[in-house]
């Protein structure tokens, strides 16, 4: 963390120069490592609670099962997605795309109104960094002052032990994250196979786990806030979504300025405690005091700066690096409590609300986002609710021509896939439609079994038609697909006639 006394990293107060450089890069081009003070306060407690819930969900998601299916699965390789027990098969890919679009629009809408709530409260990067890795760092290396001292100290047994233990634990957690990450993609059963079977049988999986482990380790041990500053695409485009009416962690400059330390105020003959708070002053005295006292409520203690994991000074205004973690709100509230001033000098509000005293949450742009969001959400919900619960895919076996069978019949091979999207096992059957029934029969190659809940089955069969029913031209053919003995739907396809 830089300080005003650091000649290399002098804060350009009261100027706009802070926008011209990145706080984590020193003027000499080297990285300014951030030693953030351990946050404390009501927002931190709430964020801790939310984070633990999210961590539980993240770590349990691929392993907990509902009706035999994982709670969460994002198998992009096979285009199979499971959300809270609901399976989205490759046939439902349009729903996944639409769902993603809805999610992106939700983030856009919320960002334009409420800023980067996602970053501060729910982003996995912030949750892991601030609530897992940073907490371990505090535990092993102490608070920011001790961390700085340790970093500056020569390599001795204490430093090797602490740094080594920290990195070892970081690596172990990165390994656990990498395994869970892979379980989201390939499913927990496949992951257990990779773990329990010889490495030689799962070279790809073995490489993937180790690669992910190293990436996560580097992200949390080394890159940290740089991921948010430089790599995250959301962090980049959020600046196009926010404006002066967006609610975000904001310093109330009208109330805070002119800032002045307690020492400076004392020297100038002013107390941080206002005449009204001190009591006993006449209105004339109060008015006179108010006009004479140039100081606002900010006591320039720097607490909001030292606690910031992004290394910025929120008093400079809303900045790209701010992940809205609320640590500065807690730090400032503590200082306001200490000097007997109302909390909220830094709070969730907008620039315009501070400047003019009123906030315009609902604007034309917000209405536009809301309209598009509602439209996409309605389409997505409608398609989700009306999607076929039992989906059947009938295909003629590719590459197979008509066959003359020993009994003189003409055969064509087909396959039927049944996707059961319900939570009950389903018994399906297939037969030739009545108008084709006297022309031939179905000869099954596989046994047609029940389809388990949220699963699929595939059966291959041959349609054998009497030669006189076929002729020499391909003919349309129709099947009845039955569900629990009742007609579910009819399926049409083509029966290939043998060549002349
Ligand atoms: S400025 Fe405040 S809210 Fe923003 S990242 Fe820093 S501490 Fe968190
Ligand atoms: S914590 Fe509050 S009082 Fe202290 S410098 Fe920051 S804004 Fe000013």
| Distance (Å) from CA 303 to ligand 2 centroid | 6
Q: Give the largest Cα separation in the chain, rounded.
A: 115
- Residue 17: pLDDT band (50, 70, 90) is low
Burial grade of 218 (CB within 10 A; 0-12, 13-18, 19 or more) = middle
Locate 201 and state its tokens: 């049988």
Asked if residues 441 and 466 have their Cβ atoms less than 8 Å apart, the reply is: no
pLDDT at 7 over 50: no
Residue 122 sits at φ, ψ, to 5 deg, of -125, -15
| Distance (Å) from CA 21 to ligand 1 centroid | 17
| Distance (Å) from CA 141 to ligand 1 centroid | 22
Asked if residues 420 and 445 have their Cβ atoms less than 8 Å apart, the reply is: no
State the pLDDT at residue 69: 80
d(CA 276, CA 285): 10
Locate 400 and state its tokens: 């197979």
State the pLDDT at residue 333: 97
d(CA 224, CA 460): 53
H or E stretch including 128? helix 124-128
Burial grade of 18 (CB within 10 A; 0-12, 13-18, 19 or more) = middle
Starting from the CA of residue 334, give the closest ligand.
2
d(CA 106, CA 395): 39
- Residue 216: pLDDT band (50, 70, 90) is very high
| Distance (Å) from CA 318 to ligand 1 centroid | 9
State the pLDDT at residue 290: 52
Asked if residues 202 and 187 have their Cβ atoms less than 8 Å apart, the reply is: no
What does each C-alpha distance from 230 to 16, 22, 150, 307 come to in angstroms?
A: 21, 11, 28, 21
> Which residue has the CA at smallest separation from atom 7 of ligand 2?
298
- Residue 77: pLDDT band (50, 70, 90) is confident
d(CA 28, CA 9): 10
Starting from the CA of residue 37, give the closest ligand.
1
Residue 341 sits at φ, ψ, to 5 deg, of -110, 160
| Distance (Å) from CA 304 to ligand 2 centroid | 6
Locate 340 and state its tokens: 């007997």
SS3 278: helix
Residue-wise pLDDT tens digits, 299-341? 999 999 999 999 999 999 888 889 999 999 999 999 999 999 9
Residue 306 sits at φ, ψ, to 5 deg, of -70, -20
| Distance (Å) from CA 327 to ligand 1 centroid | 6
Half-sphere exposure of 147 (CA within 13 A, CB side): 20
Q: Is the peptide bond before 59 cis (omega within 30 degrees of 0)?
A: no
pLDDT at 349 over 90: yes
The angle formed by the CA atoms of residues 76, 82 and 84, to the nearest 5 degrees, is 145
Which 3-state string (H, E, C) describes 213-253? HHHHHHHHHHHCHHHHHHHCHHHHHHHHCCCCCCCEEEECH
Q: Which region among 35-39, 414-418, 452-456 has the lowest average model confidence (pLDDT)? A: 452-456
> Which residue has the CA at smallest separation from atom 5 of ligand 1?
322
pLDDT at 389 over 70: yes
- Residue 249: pLDDT band (50, 70, 90) is very high
Residues 6+ apart with CB under 8 A from 222: none
Locate 189 and state its tokens: 């059963």
- Residue 3: pLDDT band (50, 70, 90) is very low
Pocket mutation for ligand 1, best pick of 327, 330, 347 (most atoms within 8 Å of C-beta): 327
pLDDT at 14 over 80: no
d(CA 487, CA 328): 64
| Distance (Å) from CA 302 to ligand 2 centroid | 6
H or E stretch including 288? helix 283-292
State the pLDDT at residue 500: 55
**Full-model pTM:** 0.79
If one counts every other C-beta atom within 10 angstroms of the C-beta of residue 444, the result is 11
H or E stretch including 440? strand 440-444
Q: Measured from the CA of 251, which atom of ligand 2 is nearest?
A: 7
- Residue 278: pLDDT band (50, 70, 90) is very low
d(CA 13, CA 23): 13
Q: What is the DSSP letter of 458?
A: E
> Which residue has the CA at smallest separation from atom 6 of ligand 2?
304
Q: Tokens 């994250």 identify what position?
A: 177
d(CA 140, CA 149): 13
Task: Report the percent of the chain where pLDDT is more than 70.
Answer: 92
SS3 104: helix
Q: Measured from the CA of 328, which atom of ligand 2 is nearest?
A: 1
d(CA 134, CA 309): 10
- Residue 489: pLDDT band (50, 70, 90) is very high
| Distance (Å) from CA 296 to ligand 1 centroid | 21
Q: Measured from the CA of 315, which atom of ligand 2 is nearest?
A: 7
Question: What is the pLDDT averaged over residues 408-424?
Answer: 90
Q: Measured from the CA of 307, which atom of ligand 1 is nearest?
A: 7
d(CA 307, CA 352): 26
State the pLDDT at residue 53: 97
* CA 130 to chain centroid: 15
Residue-wise pLDDT tens digits, 95-152? 888 888 888 888 888 888 888 888 999 999 999 999 999 999 999 999 999 999 999 9
Pocket of ligand 1 (CB under 6 A): 249, 307-310, 312, 314, 322-328
475 sits in the region (left: phi over 0; alpha: psi -120 to 50; else beta) called beta
């Amino acid at each position: 963390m830089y300080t005003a006394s650091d000649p290399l990293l002098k804060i350009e107060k009261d100027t706009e120069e802070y926008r011209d450089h990145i706080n984590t890069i020193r003027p000499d081009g080297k990285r300014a490592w951030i030693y953030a003070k351990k946050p404390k306060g009501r927002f931190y407690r709430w964020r801790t609670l939310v984070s633990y819930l999210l961590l539980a969900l993240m770590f349990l998601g691929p392993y907990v099962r509902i009706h035999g299916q994982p709670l969460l699965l994002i198998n992009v390789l096979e285009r199979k997605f499971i959300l809270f027990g609901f399976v989205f098969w490759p046939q439902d890919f349009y729903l996944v795309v639409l769902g993603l679009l809805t999610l992106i629009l939700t983030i856009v809408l919320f960002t334009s109104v409420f800023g980067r709530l996602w970053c501060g409260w729910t982003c996995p990067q912030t949750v892991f960094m601030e609530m897992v890795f940073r907490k371990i760092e505090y535990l092993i290396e102490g608070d920011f002052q001790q961390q700085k001292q340790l970093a500056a100290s020569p390599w001795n047994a204490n430093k090797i032990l602490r740094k080594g233990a920290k990195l070892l634990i970081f690596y172990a957690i990165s390994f656990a994250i990498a395994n869970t990450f892979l379980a989201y993609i390939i499913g927990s059963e496949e992951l257990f196979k990779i773990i329990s079977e010889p490495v030689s049988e799962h070279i790809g999986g073995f490489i993937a786990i180790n690669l992910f482990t190293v990436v996560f380790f580097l992200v949390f041990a080394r890159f940290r806030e740089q991921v948010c500053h430089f790599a995250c695409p959301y962090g980049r485009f959020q600046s196009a979504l926010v404006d002066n009416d967006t609610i975000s962690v904001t310093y109330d400059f009208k109330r805070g300025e002119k800032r002045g330390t307690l020492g400076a105020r004392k020297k100038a003959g002013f107390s941080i405690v206002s005449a009204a708070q001190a009591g006993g002053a006449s209105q004339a005295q109060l008015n006179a005091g108010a006009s004479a006292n140039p100081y606002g409520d900010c006591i320039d203690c720097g607490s909001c700066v030292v606690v910031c994991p992004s290394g910025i000074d929120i008093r400079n205004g809303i900045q790209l690096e701010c992940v809205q973690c609320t640590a500065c709100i807690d730090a400032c509230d503590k200082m306001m409590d200490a000097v007997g001033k109302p909390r909220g000098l830094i709070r969730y509000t907008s620039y315009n609300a501070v400047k003019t005293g009123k906030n315009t949450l609902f604007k034309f742009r917000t209405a536009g986002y809301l309209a598009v969001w509602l439209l996409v959400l309605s389409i997505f919900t409608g398609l989700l609710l009306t999607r076929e619960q039992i989906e059947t895919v009938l295909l003629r076996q590719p590459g197979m021509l008509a066959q003359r069978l020993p009994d003189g019949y003409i055969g064509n091979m087909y396959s039927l896939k049944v996707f059961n999207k319900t939570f009950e096992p389903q018994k399906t059957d297939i037969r030739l439609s009545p108008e084709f029934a006297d022309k031939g029969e179905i000869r099954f190659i596989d046994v047609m079994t029940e389809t388990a809940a949220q699963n699929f089955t595939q059966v291959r069969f041959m349609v054998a038609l009497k030669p006189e029913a076929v002729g020499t031209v391909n003919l349309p053919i129709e099947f009845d697909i039955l569900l629990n003995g009742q007609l579910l739907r009819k399926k049409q396809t083509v029966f290939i006639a043998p060549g002349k």
